[in-house]
Amino acid sequence: MSAENHYNDQQVENRNNEQLQKEASPVGFMKIYKDLLKHRRLYYKVLPVTFILAVIYTLSLPNYYCCTVRLSPEMSSSRTSSSLLSLASNFGFNFGKSSGGMGTEALFPTLYPDLVNSTDFKVSLFTVPVTIEGNKEKGIKDRTMPYYDYLVNEQKKSGLSVILGAPRKLIKWIFASEKDSTKVLEVDPFRLTMKQAMVVKAINKKITCDVDKKMMVITIKVTDQNPVIAATMADTVKTRLQKSITDYRTSKVRVDMEYYEKINAEAKIRYEEARQKYSEFVDANQYIILQTVRQKQVDLENEMQLQYNAYMQTAQQLLAAEAKVQEETPAFTTLQSATVPVRKAGPARSKMCLMFLFLAFIGTSVWILYKEGDLMALFNSNDEEEPDTSDTTEQTALIQALLNLNAKK
């Protein structure tokens, strides 16, 4: 019985030790809190310095403004059916091109953002004239320049960017040559220079286009440091996008119209020549009653009438082609026109300062825990989770009780 009692006492002792270990686990968090509280003076130094640096950095960031334009393109019945066929194809139904539509339209509204983001479209914006408004009270006049020159020379940069870019600018200034200069008129979209490629990249960030696939609403958003230029470029992009879409939609019918214009002009020339010959022949043989003369007159009259009929037929085809061009010209409904923004869109300086303070607090806390040795202990406590050893403990206690019993004997 003594061995059994000893075994029970050992079990109770093990359970008490486990209970004490469980109760002692929160003590680690209290130690962490005390260690952080012990180094609170470090927070008093780091957080104010971080706040001052964050304020200086955010104040050096230039303000920017956003202008948004929304359009709704006209969707004809054929294009609407094409959209329905495209939607049906997403569910596995393929009606083919013969059923009407997927092959008749190559530029869907969902492809408009790709058109705006293309290099050719962005390069075409280099020559757009923009105006920087002056101050009449101070005698500063307005300045008009190409959009390319504005992006290269008139963009404000943050203080950090100026400091980091100073060595590179110094090197470029030392090794600069006349060959490095670029002109807007010499832009080749097939082979851009480094500076032109950087300008295109800057335009990609400033000008965005999005299409709502459900409502088919085109949204053009332009961001710039100058509110007037933001509105100017938003209206320009809208106009050029409309022109590009119109040129594509009417390209085939305009080719037909040009062809009909050509054959109509040729038919008119032939008709005028035949009429001139008939008139000259009639005037020269007015009093001659020979049968051969009359037969010649009839032949010239028939030729003139034939050329007149051909001329009238081509004229009708030309009118039909012109009507077709007008019919295929898409219409756009402006849901929101370009207006000069009054309030800035960013930067959000207060949020940036709070973010910097939060990161500084986290970084300081981690450094304190690392210095006090709590950081490794915190990770080790999570990593070194031992499996349940209750069975092993019971076996050890039983062996110990048997040894003690033998020793008493």
CA nearest neighbour of 108 among 78, 128, 131:
78
- pLDDT score of 379: 64
- Distance, C-alpha 188 to centroid of its chain: 23
**Mean pLDDT to the nearest integer, 105-117:** 76
Decide if pLDDT at 185 tops 60. no
Q: pLDDT averaged over the chain?
A: 78
Best-predicted range by mean pLDDT (14-23, 197-206, 288-297, 384-393): 197-206
* Range with lowest mean pLDDT among 92-106, 121-135, 271-285, 322-336: 92-106
Rounded percentage of the chain residues whose pLDDT exceeds 90 = 34
- pLDDT score of 393: 59
- pLDDT score of 33: 80
- pLDDT score of 319: 93
**Mean pLDDT to the nearest integer, 234-260:** 90
pLDDT tens figures, 40-91 = 899 999 999 999 999 998 888 899 999 999 988 876 544 444 444 544 444 4
pLDDT band at 226 (very low <50, low <70, confident <90, very high): very high
**Mean pLDDT to the nearest integer, 167-182:** 55
Decide if pLDDT at 403 tops 60. yes
Q: Tell me the domain boundaries of the chain.
A: 28-58+352-384, 63-250+336-346, 254-328
pLDDT tens figures, 306-344 = 999 999 999 999 999 999 888 888 888 888 889 999 898
Decide if pLDDT at 386 tops 60. no
- pLDDT score of 110: 78
- pLDDT score of 5: 54
DSSP string computed for 240-275:
HHHHHHHHHHTHHHHHHHHHHHHHHHHHHHHHHHHH
**Top-confidence residue, 409 or 285:** 285
Q: Please return the burial class of 255, using the count of CB atoms within 10 Å of its CB with bins 0-12, 13-18 and 19+.
A: exposed
**Mean pLDDT to the nearest integer, 249-270:** 91
Kindly give the interhelix angle for 251-284 and 291-328, rounded to the nearest 10 degrees. 160
**Mean pLDDT to the nearest integer, 93-122:** 65
- pLDDT score of 180: 45
pLDDT tens figures, 114-124 = 888 899 999 99
Q: Please return the burial class of 230, using the count of CB atoms within 10 Å of its CB with bins 0-12, 13-18 and 19+.
A: buried
Place of tokens 């696939």: 213
Decide if pLDDT at 224 tops 90. yes
- pLDDT score of 251: 86
**Mean pLDDT to the nearest integer, 265-292:** 88
- ∠ Cα 222 79 125 (to 5°): 25
**Amino acid identity for residue 383 in this structure:** D
- pLDDT score of 245: 87
Helix, strand, or coil (residue 362): helix
- pLDDT score of 158: 72
